[in-house]
Amino acid sequence: MTRIMHYINKFFGGIGGEDKAEYPLTVTAGTVGPGRLLAGKLGDAGTIVATIVCGDNTAQYSPDHIKQEIVALLEQYEADILVAGPAFSSGRYGLACAEAAEAAQMYGIQSVVSMHPENPGIDLCPADVIIVKAGESAVDMAASMEHLCQVLVRLTAGRPIDTEELIYCIKRDIRCNTTSRKNGAVRAVDMLLAKIGGKKFESEQLPPHFPRITPAPPIEATGGPVRAVCR
């Protein structure tokens, strides 16, 4: 059975709120807090062997030291996968989850992080980390855990994530350098000619995506004309 190490912050570990932001990194065998919900959904697909709890400030003050501690714990518990979160939209928690994912990469195992698409921790996660979409707050805990579980079941079974599970993951659009037979100027002209000719082409630049917002209805003017009064 796949052995899973779970990383959560001090709040979801039941330690406290902002007054415990400097809580040191600790480990508890088995599940803690939201890990119990995750374990129940995983069933026989995997077992959470231990839970790491750390204050968000502690993770930011000494990230290198924290990563080394996590690597040591992954080795101690012989973990196969590290799961971090859900961090929802909490910025510091998301950054800490990214550090935990980097520690898993250092140890040489797969990591899965759950956070909101606008969490700043996404940009700091290593390229090979799978990031599962989470809601904005803990109100969405059940749905976030359900999506996380579906991705984990795939991984623990040794099967690649298919299209159905990919809809729960965050597309990161990571750009990598590759070698091309044509230089940039030639490729740009080729794309321009294809566009003019109505042919299919794929841009090398990622355009910004802005959500469509329905404008508010116009305000109806009431009363008579407005007269400016100068004093």
| Domains, the chain, ordered by start | 2-166 (3.40.50.2300)
Give 142-158 pLDDT, tens digit per residue: 999 999 999 999 999 88
Q: Strands across the sheet with 110-115, in order?
A: 26-29, 46-54, 2-9, 81-84, 110-115, 130-133
Residue 51, both tokens: 């839970």
Query: What's the confidence (pLDDT) of residue 210?
Result: 72
Note the pLDDT of residue 202: 82
- Name the pLDDT band for 211 (thresholds 50, 70, 90): confident
Instruction: List the single range of 36-45, 115-124, 188-197, 217-226 with lowest mean pLDDT.
Output: 217-226
Percent of the chain at pLDDT > 70 equals 93
> Is pLDDT of 230 > 90?
no
Asked if residue 223 has pLDDT above 80, the reply is: no
C-alpha closest to that of 95 among 54, 150, 49: 54
